[in-house]
Structure 1
């Protein structure tokens, strides 16, 4: 079969399962053939071998079952980086890039020390380390598999000013100097949220998604811990749910943070809230 005919069949198979059927099919076939998507527009009539067609069909079947493209391909782009992905961590998303943007906007001249709590693939820590080359960036995660993955992603992207540690939030940081900025994309989904049974999140680790107290338990715990791990005037920044901004601002206010503000994502939803330690 030709590239064009394979893709048309794939679009039909994925149309009812994915809102991004066309790009999904193109990414999967590009992966199998070892080419870029632009290749398809140049050589649509190029014949595809039987072995490649079979491999494509196998990957396509996984996507039909709802498995995220990032897990099928084992990689996801984030910021300027190409990251290895794993079922042990969340998939880096474009909305999370807003957290990186806000950190850079608030500290345009860079900082000395950064902490990323719940680092997963290392996406946020590595993006900030890439932009703030003179900073010491520490990423922590409770899962040993995530720590190893983040370390591999640092090597893959040739980023050398990061360290990744296994820790239950702040528990392994007692001997670390204070941080100028703490960032986190923590678990923030209510365990009863119906979205947990929909879309890509069905395949992501539940412990990285949900938190008690209507999704606020880990955010509350991080704010408490930040009081003794931030320098005076240091920033604490969260990604959170679209409907949690008011509650997160109140949690900051309860602990006497100042300069509290919420920023919207590309879809216009409240996504990032920040506060500065008085």
Structure 2
């Protein structure tokens, strides 16, 4: 099956390029093929044409970096992460993790393109160093000397899809790379010890339970006021909150039900607490979503 679109009076192949070239080769060698059966596609919009062309590129599939660029281009055309997840029957977390590849240092993207490091391991390393590119490269350089000098045949990253003038999708795939085979980066080469399956599952379940417990909802909108004398005012000097009010008499704090419940839980001698910033919590939730994929 060959799918074509009509552009400025000409028909352009959108799916079935290999079949089309095979037919032309057969005709050039004397085969009698007077007509070609094709399907004329009239796409609703540019994004549908792009994704249809991308989906048809299965015989020469993109590597993870190429896929990330392809998905990012789809998002730039107006497709949402949720729509992409539904189209490809993946979770939204899986799509977002794929897009995260583009936030990695170019050197790390090249390693993924050359299949010297797995995408999931690369994401783990990025999370470990809070997306600090210098720290990530320093860590990898310690186990794979010369990583910053990995060459490709062009200035572009291996695996980035080329888009034609109409933005209809990847036409070519740069398969350049060093002729000399490099050793793959694995957890072992990075000094990451693998835990037993039993211990891994236990840590995973305990971590998920811990992170899930960070989300609590207030039962009501009730607010509770607590007052502290002037002698305790210095304890609140580094607290950045509109709910902390200083006066000549001391300090007044206003707590909603959720924060009051946290405070009451801490009064229990059997409990303790781990305080994390909101950005760090978002990072923990990303790790949680990554774990749920496995």
Q: Return the TM-score normalized by structure 1.
A: 0.25
Quick check: which one's strand share is greater?
1
**Higher-Rg member (1/2):** 2
What TM-score comes out, normalization by structure 2 length? 0.24
